[in-house]
Amino acid sequence: MFLTLPLVVVLGVVVVLLVRKSGLRPSHAVAAVLLGFYLHDSTLAPTISEAVQGVADVIGGISP
């Protein structure tokens, strides 16, 4: 059985874990979120999206 989680949820969990365990400060997490919002509106957004999709395809193509 395969579970599909949106990338946003996975990244959210990673940020929460980094804040709790690795000393990432909440202000740094907020800065990263704001950077993501500004990148979404930039000309780099399609390139970043294609790169993330390519990595997801490679990871999804790995058979156990």
pLDDT, tens digit (0-9, with 9 covering 90-100), for 4-61: 567 778 888 888 888 888 888 888 888 888 888 888 888 988 898 888 888 888 888 8
Q: How many helices (H) and strands (E) does the chain have?
A: 3, 0
Map out the domains of the chain as residue ranges: 3-62
The DSSP secondary-structure symbol of 32 reads H
Rounded to 5 degrees, what angle do the CA atoms 7, 60, 40 make?
30
pLDDT value for 5? 65
pLDDT value for 4? 55
Q: pLDDT-derived band of residue 2, with 50, 70 and 90 as boundaries?
A: very low
Question: Which tokens in the block code for residue 38?
Answer: 């500004």
Please say whether the beta carbons of 18 and 29 come within 8 A. Answer: yes
